[in-house]
Amino acid sequence: MLAKRELIRIVRTLEGVKIDPTGKLAGRGAYLHRQRSCWERALRGPLAHALKTELTPADRERLLAFAQTLPKEPSTDGTTM
């Protein structure tokens, strides 16, 4: 468990699934760690389940592109690399 500000919020909106850096967008949300492996696992199914929606190819592509900007794994001191 981490504080919300240490996680990234993903939100389901009428326009599709979006990354919510402010944590203030209206819609059903889910939180992910700031590491690529967490996003890769989440995109296999748990994220769609948490958001109670099907991810469109455009949603999936946008989220994967963002995930590529994140560190691969956490460092040994608990922060992300």
Q: Given this model, what pLDDT does residue 74 score?
A: 65
13 domain residue, yes or no? yes
Q: Given this model, what pLDDT does residue 3 score?
A: 82
Q: Given this model, what pLDDT does residue 80 score?
A: 46
46 domain residue, yes or no? yes
pLDDT 10s digits, 46-64 = 999 999 999 999 999 999 9
Residue 24 sits in which domain range?
4-67
Low-confidence ranges of the chain (pLDDT < 50): 80-81
Q: Are 49 and 41 in contact (CB under 8 A)?
A: no
Q: Which two tokens stand for residue 18?
A: 């979006």
Query: Structural domain tally of the chain?
Result: 1
74 domain residue, yes or no? no
Q: Are 30 and 75 in contact (CB under 8 A)?
A: no
